[in-house]
Structure 1
Amino acid sequence: MEQQASDFVVATQAALAQLSALAVQYSFSILGAIILLIIGWVASGLLSRWARQGMGRIHGIDATLAQFFSNIIRYAVLVIVIVMVLGQFGVQTASILAALGAIGLAIGLALQGTLQNIAAGIMLLVLRPFRVGEYIDTGSVNGTVQEIGLFATELKTYDGLYRLAPNSLLWNVPVTNYSRLSTRMHDFKVGIAYEDDIDKALGILLDLANREERILKDPPPSAFVMELGDNAVVLALRYWANSSVWWMTSRDMTKRTKEAFDAAGISIPFPQVTYHAAEKDEKTDGRPPLNLV
């Protein structure tokens, strides 16, 4: 009995010694992990803030893009810190990194369309083919840009409708921006009858353009014969105007041209067809002859 009691005491003392050693070892590991977490949390916030402020000073970097990249930097630092904390407790970090890579690949495949929109959104925010307030047309999507996000772009159509377009639809197609350049050319075409005076009509068009204040004088407007159509001689008035007033200027010029041509006696013909009736054949009583084989 005394021998068993002595063995029990020795085993207990050995177990307590091991527990003490483990407690000391893991206490340092826990303390180190807490310190790493605190330092990592503070460092991630500082790096994120510095990155956002630095990109904000760069001309052409959108605030949304700066916020996106700053968040990526913060989360990347936090992931590194967590891996280091797990390494403090003897966890194999190589397997964790491999697992994170596999998870990232699976998420990327599952969210392929979403990631494509994010990539397109980043390119739109960096290259800026259009900005907020500009009117664009891609053939399938058109409207005034209201907001450019990482996933989609908000637009307002000319008739006051809200439209949300995925960024991938705006990046992979040609985009026509009607508001980017300050001036814009217009070829105003109008047809006159073949019997009308061409020089007189051209003079009226140039006079209207020179008296219109919204039409730029440099380059000067020009009028010329564009084509000889089936029903009319097509004249063209080419002028430049500021993009902000281009639409209303073109509409007003259409109205004033019609009024000026009416006052000058110049007609604007409409498509018409002339029929020539053949003379009546007495032998066939006006009916076409029969071809008998």
Structure 2
Amino acid sequence: MNNIDWQAQFTEHWPVLAAYGLKALGAFIVLIVGLRISGAMASMVRRQAIKRPNIDETLGSFFASLVRWFLTAATIIAALQLFGVEATSFVAILGAMTLAIGLSLQGALGNIASGIMIMLFRPYGVGQFIEVAGVGGTVKDINLFQTILATPDNVQVIVPNSQAIDGVIKNYAGYPTRRIDLVFGIDYGDGMEHAIGVIEGVIKADKRVLADPQPVVRVDNLGSSSVDIIARPWVNTPDYWETRWALTQNVKAALDAAGISIPYPHQVNVNRD
């Protein structure tokens, strides 16, 4: 068995080994520096997003993740090129995989895009009562895929963001004030002006009712059995339901105390022998 002259072999192949070693070292340095830069850029994007009141924290984290993965992919491709690997075919394969994944996840990607729009434009927020996709409830959570609601009887409803953004959105807490619409029917034999005065007195006595816009109390309809008087006071949105319920009860008590009756349908039976 012939003895191998390792020194001669090493001397012969040293230039190639040195070249590959330098390439590997360069690729390693590029990889380490690139990964650090991607992490730093992602953190910067997240901090900048948090500082902006119109960008949700979840959306800021999503953008930061996009930046991190994009820079990481670019770093890996650059490192492979330094190591001598042709990146053209790698990029082509990566593009084909991205297209295939995108086609198979069209619905999920649509929900993500809709989630980004919701978080950017903020048609509603957590804690607000809304009607969306034919469902009404309080918003409990908004993420990139879905909006989670709780109905008034505390049933969880999960609405895909694509359905939420594509339909009509009714936000009951979208403005700081709301108008309460009430209707009170009085008997035709009772004085309309007197009844209006009683109703106005109850409304003015409630401190939650706003002076501007001024409450409106008017005769609105002459029904088959009653004269219908509308009352339209304005309140701050958080006070809407409590004020509505209180005014309904207090107006009824005040009309009773004033001797003004609230008629109700009567049925007369006529018997013929």
Alignment partner of 1:249 is 2:237: no
Q: Any idea what the Cα deviations from partners look like across 1:168-214, whole Å, max 9, x if unmatched?
A: 22211222222232211112112122232211111111111111111
Match of 1:123 in 2: 117
Match of 2:140 in 1: 146
Q: CA RMSD in A?
A: 2.5
Match of 1:212 in 2: 206
Match of 2:164 in 1: 170
Match of 2:196 in 1: 202
Aligned in 2, Cα 1:102/1:165: closer, same or farther, shift over 3 Å? same
Residue 167 of structure 2 aligns to a residue in which SS? coil
Moved more, 229-238 or 100-109: 229-238
* 2:33 corresponds to which of 39, 57, 61: 39
- Conservation of the 8 A alpha-carbon contact between 1:153 and 1:165: yes
* 1:158 corresponds to which of 136, 152, 157: 152
Gaps of 5+ in 1: 281-285, 287-293
Match of 1:239 in 2: 233
Q: Any idea what the Cα deviations from partners look like across 1:13-45, whole Å, max 9, x if unmatched?
A: 6x7666433312211111111011111111111
Alignment partner of 1:60 is 2:54: yes
Residue 90 of structure 1 aligns to a residue in which SS? coil
- Conservation of the 8 A alpha-carbon contact between 2:133 and 2:164: no
Match of 1:283 in 2: none
Q: What's the CA shift for 1:274?
A: 6.3
Residue 215 of structure 1 aligns to a residue in which SS? coil
CA distance in 2, matches of 1:276, 1:24: 115
CA distance in 2, matches of 1:141, 1:181: 20
Structure possessing the higher radius of gyration over alpha carbons? 1
CA distance in 1, matches of 2:190, 2:167: 45
- Conservation of the 8 A alpha-carbon contact between 1:133 and 1:144: yes
Match of 1:261 in 2: 255
Q: Quick one: which amino acid aligns to residue 170 of structure 1?
A: A
* 1:84 corresponds to which of 75, 78, 83: 78
- Conservation of the 8 A alpha-carbon contact between 1:231 and 1:269: yes
Alignment partner of 1:221 is 2:215: yes
Alignment partner of 1:30 is 2:33: no
CA distance in 2, matches of 1:254, 1:115: 48
Aligned in 2, Cα 1:24/1:139: closer, same or farther, shift over 3 Å? closer
CA distance in 2, matches of 1:152, 1:138: 12
CA distance in 1, matches of 2:72, 2:91: 14
Q: Quick one: which amino acid aligns to residue 258 of structure 2?
A: A
CA distance in 2, matches of 1:140, 1:203: 40
Aligned in 2, Cα 1:165/1:238: closer, same or farther, shift over 3 Å? same
CA distance in 1, matches of 2:202, 2:240: 15
Gaps of 5+ in 2: none
CA distance in 2, matches of 1:60, 1:18: 65
CA distance in 1, matches of 2:133, 2:94: 41
Match of 1:184 in 2: 178
TM normalised by structure 2 equals: 0.89
TM normalised by structure 1 equals: 0.84
Aligned in 2, Cα 1:61/1:112: closer, same or farther, shift over 3 Å? same
